[in-house]
């Protein structure tokens, strides 16, 4: 895990090495083990290293081929690098390091652009081929690793984080007009956009090539989820075959992610997904696994540590537990610096704290349960969205007229209010229904709150991404649940979950690996019909059946909690808060404190 950055000048001038060092230093937290810079006529690459595989100087970056014609700056891990290395050695390639980075270089020399689709892992890659004078930028299949790009008529600038790009002295920081509305609706700005009009996120499962002399990059999608028609799973023999395959692929995914030349551990919430990861690690390890859990002082309803202890005891892990106090909310100021732009997921706070705890305990790598809900349909909202799909369209129109007479009460958790929200959402088509379950504000509410702003938004404008994704999956034959999972993977997983884990863990210089986002496991899970993953309100059906013997019953049978934060409890203790409206006052104080800060500078953390 590392931080990469670089610049290409369209007029062919060579950037000063000091500029590249400044861009690299802005991301020092992503790679505390070393820094490297390489400049060439027309551009340069920079790298911050977090050493995981091959800790020797031979694996330092930017790395080049023997003749110096091709250079690479790489962030991530390639889990099939040993298999690729063996194949490349059979084709005549020789290696001087044990790193996966050198394997990418050899694969590029052997297969060119086709090499990207053969990489199995999480990655962001910048590769300069001096022979053809082309820059290649590539990102992994689900967008685990970030890559931001800025372009104007003079240059292309890129980085693992926006702050690396803003370290360049000549960047247009004009805001994207729709950014505030999109953020307030979703809690993030959807890919490919950012808060900056000219800074974009590289799409997942995509590579771009900027050839010398061209004004535009060429982009190609090298992978997509395998969508419908799904295989038939009806008889008991079908189920046994599917359960066996899911279990085999899951254990293999965990095993591949246990390869490291540094100490590794696991996040353990006591929920189904993290418990399975720990069980699989313990089954395939010769020594106790280090596990880490986090709870909330004074808020037992948000505290899962007792379940984590049950799993830790069953598998004999070396377990560490940490209790978060309300003062932890003060970390928002620090985390804002790491996220570079507004981000609405409050669970970034405990994610950062458990990452920091894990790193301080001596681990450089942690396996997580991330992706289990996204791949095997673990969120209750999926059941709610799917249940409404079974309501005949004429009846939905009747329901729509009825609920229009009853005002919705946001935040009311009583049964009548929940029933109203369900009925209101049930009247929508599937894409809008899914978005309504994960969005904070409708277009009407946003326009009211943003009165006076230059931009006016509409629900179709906010939800077009969901419409396009569901239509794409439906046209390829996917059933309703797999349409939902596909849209969720390209929205919430990509722009919320992956961003949260990457920024929060890298703020602590910790690498997180997610076995449930393994390519083979995802592809197989998406080939299965929806009823194997979600049956009524029972989630993750096939995963539970495949791995039941690995689980503590309490982890299977309890209500899903998620990684929530007791914001209501914390509000009253916020520093300088008005007790009648503590969160609003705290936010106002924070915004005032940030107003005059220059985030473009490579300044110290607040």
Q: What are 215-256's pLDDT values in tens digits? A: 678 899 999 999 989 999 999 999 999 999 999 999 999 999
- Predicted confidence at residue 602, as pLDDT, reads 41
pLDDT at 327: 65
Tens digits of residue pLDDT in 129-146: 999 999 999 999 999 999
Give mean pLDDT, residues 40-63: 96
447 pLDDT exceeds 90? no
Least confident range from 56-65, 93-102, 395-404, 411-420: namely 411-420
455: pLDDT strictly greater than 60: yes
What's the pLDDT score for residue 565?
Answer: 65
pLDDT bracket for residue 594 (50, 70, 90): very low
Other CB atoms within a 10 A radius of the CB of residue 106 amount to: 22
- pTM (2 d.p.): 0.91
Window from 126-130, 268-272, 332-336 with minimum mean pLDDT: 332-336
Angle among Cα 96, 100, 104 to the nearest 5 degrees reads 90
Q: What is the mean pLDDT of residues 322-334?
A: 75
Q: What is the DSSP letter of 311?
A: H
| % pLDDT > 70, the chain | 83
Query: Residue 596's pLDDT band (boundaries 50, 70, 90)?
Result: very low
Give the pairing of strands 2-9 and 35-40: unpaired
Under 8 Å between Cβ of 265 and 366: yes
Q: What is the DSSP string of 112-147?
A: GGGGGGG--EEEEEEEEETTTTEEEEEE-SS--S--
Supply the pLDDT for residue 175.
Answer: 94
The string of pLDDT tens digits covering residues 149-181 is 999 999 999 999 999 999 999 999 999 999 989
* Rounded distance between C-alpha atoms, residue 183 and residue 446, angstroms: 10
Residue 204 has pLDDT above 80, yes or no: yes
Q: What is the mean pLDDT of residues 272-296?
A: 94
pLDDT at 581 over 70: no
The overall average pLDDT reported for the chain is 88
Domain ranges of the chain: 2-221, 236-376+486-569
Which range has the worst mean pLDDT, 248-262, 323-337, 474-488? 323-337
Q: Count the Cβ atoms, other than its own, within 10 Å of residue 313.
A: 11
**Nearest to 165, CA basis, from 6, 30, 13, 48:** 6
Is the predicted pLDDT of residue 603 greater than 50, yes or no?
Answer: no
Contact 366, 266 (CB under 8 A): yes
pLDDT at 560: 64
Burial (CB count <10 Å: 0-12, 13-18, 19+), residue 316: exposed
Give the whole-angstrom CA distance, residue 526 versus residue 543: 13
pLDDT recorded at residue 303: 74
Which whole-number Å values give the CA distances from 98 to 114, 167, 211, in the listed order?
A: 23, 33, 31
Residue 450 has pLDDT above 90, yes or no: no
* Whether the predicted pLDDT of 465 surpasses 70: yes
Give the span between the Cα atoms of 204 and 222, in whole angstroms.
9
- Provide Rg for the chain, Cα atoms: 24
Q: What pLDDT does residue 83 have?
A: 97
pLDDT exceeds cutoff 50 at 605:
no
Let me know: does 28 contact 506? Beta carbons within 8 Å: no
Q: Which of 139, 76, 223, 222 is nearest to 523 (CA)?
A: 223
User: What is the token pair recorded at 114?
Assistant: 């086709």
Superfamily of domain 236-376+486-569, CATH level 4 = HUPs (3.40.50.620)
Lowest mean pLDDT among 212-216, 267-271, 383-387, 476-480: 212-216
Superfamily for domain range 2-221: Aminohydrolase, N-terminal nucleophile (Ntn) domain (3.60.20.10)
Residue pLDDT, tens place only, 499-548: 999 999 999 999 999 999 999 999 999 999 999 999 999 999 999 999 99
Residue 497: how many CB atoms within 10 A of its CB? 25
409 or 503, which is more confident: 503
Residue 577 predicted with pLDDT over 60: no
The pairing of beta strand 121-129 with beta strand 218-221: unpaired
CB atoms within 10 A of CB 273: 24
Non-local (6+) Cβ contacts of 410 within 8 A are none
Q: What is the band of 597 on the pLDDT scale with cuts at 50, 70, 90?
A: very low
């Amino acid at each position: 895990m590392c931080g990469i950055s670089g610049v290409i000048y369209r007029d062919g001038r060579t950037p000063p090495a000091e500029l590249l060092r400044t861009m690299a230093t802005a991301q020092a937290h992503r790679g505390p083990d070393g820094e490297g810079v390489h400049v060439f006529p027309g551009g340069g690459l920079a790298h911050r290293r977090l050493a995981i595989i091959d800790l020797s100087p031979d694996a330092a970056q930017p790395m080049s081929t023997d003749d110096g014609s091709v250079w690479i700056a790489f962030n991530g891990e390639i889990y099939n690098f040993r298999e690729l290395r063996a194949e490349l050695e059979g084709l005549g390639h020789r290696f001087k390091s044990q790193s996966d980075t050198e394997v990418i270089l050899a694969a590029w020399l052997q297969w060119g652009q086709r090499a990207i689709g053969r990489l199995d892992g999480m990655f962001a890659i910048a590769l300069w081929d001096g022979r053809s004078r082309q820059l290649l930028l590539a990102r992994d299949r689900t967008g685990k690793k970030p890559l931001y790009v800025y372009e104007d008529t003079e240059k292309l600038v890129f980085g693992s984080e926006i702050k690396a790009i803003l370290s360049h002295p000549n960047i247009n920081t004009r805001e994207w007009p729709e950014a505030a509305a999109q953020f307030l609706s979703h809690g993030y700005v959807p890919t490919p956009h950012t808060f900056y009009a000219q800074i974009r996120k590289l799409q997942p499962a995509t590579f771009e090539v900027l050839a010398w002399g061209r004004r535009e990059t060429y982009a190609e999608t090298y992978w997509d989820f395998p969508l419908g028609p799904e295989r038939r799973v009806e008889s008991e023999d079908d189920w046994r075959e599917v359960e066996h395959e899911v279990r085999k692929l899951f254990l293999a995914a965990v095993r591949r992610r246990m390869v490291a030349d540094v100490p590794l551990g696991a996040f353990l919430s006591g929920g189904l997904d993290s418990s399975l990861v720990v069980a699989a690690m313990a089954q395939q390890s010769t020594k106790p696994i280090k596990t880490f859990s986090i709870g909330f002082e004074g808020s037992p309803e948000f505290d899962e540590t007792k379940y984590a202890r049950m799993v830790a005891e069953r598998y004999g892990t070396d377990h560490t537990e940490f209790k978060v106090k309300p003062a932890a909310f003060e970390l928002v100021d620090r985390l804002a610096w790491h996220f570079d732009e507004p981000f609405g997921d409050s669970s970034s706070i405990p994610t950062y704290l458990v990452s920091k705890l894990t790193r301080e305990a001596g681990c450089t790598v942690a396996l997580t349960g991330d992706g289990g809900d996204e791949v095997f349909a673990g969120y209750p909202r999926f059941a709610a969205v799917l249940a409404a799909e079974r309501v005949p369209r004429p009846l939905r129109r009747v329901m729509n007229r009825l609920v229009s007479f009853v005002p919705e009460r946001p935040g009311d958790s009583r049964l009548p209010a929940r029933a109203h929200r369900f009925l209101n959402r049930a009247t929508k088509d599937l894409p809008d229904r899914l978005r309504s379950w994960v969005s904070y504000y409708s277009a009407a509410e946003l326009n009211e709150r943003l009165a006076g702003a230059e931009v006016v938004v509409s629900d179709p404008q906010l939800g077009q991404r969901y419409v396009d994704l569901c239509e794409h999956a439906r046209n390829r034959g996917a059933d309703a649940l797999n349409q939902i999972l596909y849209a969720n993977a390209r929205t919430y997983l990509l722009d919320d979950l992956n961003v949260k884990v990457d920024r929060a863990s890298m703020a602590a210089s910790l690498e997180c690996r997610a076995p449930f986002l393994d390519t083979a496991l995802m592809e197989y899970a998406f080939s299965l019909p929806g009823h194997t993953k979600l049956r009524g309100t029972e989630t993750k059906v096939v995963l539970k059946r495949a791995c039941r013997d690995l689980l503590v019953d309490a982890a299977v049978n309890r209500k899903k909690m998620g990684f929530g934060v007791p914001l209501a409890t914390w509000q009253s203790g916020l520093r300088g808060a008005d007790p009648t409206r503590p969160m609003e006052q705290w936010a106002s104080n924070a915004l005032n404190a940030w107003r005059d800060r220059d985030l473009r500078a490579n300044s110290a953390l607040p």
